[in-house]
Amino acid sequence: MSFIFRIIIIGIISFYMPHYLPWWSITIITFGIGFAFDENYFSHFLSGFIGVGTAWLFLLLSIDSSTNSIISNKIIDLLEISSVNMLIIYTSILGGFIGGMGSCSGKSLKEVLIKKKKKRDFKF
């Protein structure tokens, strides 16, 4: 349940955050969510990747449809990419990696700052 909750929170915030702050502000959000929840690294990376990647996919599709692909066509000419759809997919994957690494960084900082006490099983 925590995994799905993290994906939804990251996705919603990552969709609306670029309207007010720079694109890299998603790392701050995923970092904070990674710090707040306690699960394994793979789960954190996957929730950041899916949340940000999906949010950026819908954000890029809405920007592309509102500008009639004018900006996208100029970018694919510069980068020599085959189509606008591939540009959107590449950008979503890149955003997903950024979100996943931000979430893993938050978990890493939590493990450094808050050390768990080891259980001692004394058997007599």
Residues 6 or more apart whose Cβ sits within 8 Å of residue 101: 27, 45, 48
Residue 69: its H or E element = none
At residue 124, the pLDDT reads 64
pLDDT value for 119: 72
Length of the chain: 124
Residue 47 token pair: 């929730």
pLDDT string in tens for the chain (124-residue length):
689 999 999 999 999 988 899 988 999 999 999 999 888 899 999 999 999 999 999 999 998 888 888 888 888 999 988 889 999 999 999 999 999 999 999 999 999 998 777 777 767 6
Q: Which residue's entry shows tokens 């996957």?
A: 46
- What pTM did the predictor assign? 0.85
Q: What is the pLDDT of residue 116?
A: 74
Are 97 and 105 a contacting pair, CB within 8 Å?
Answer: no
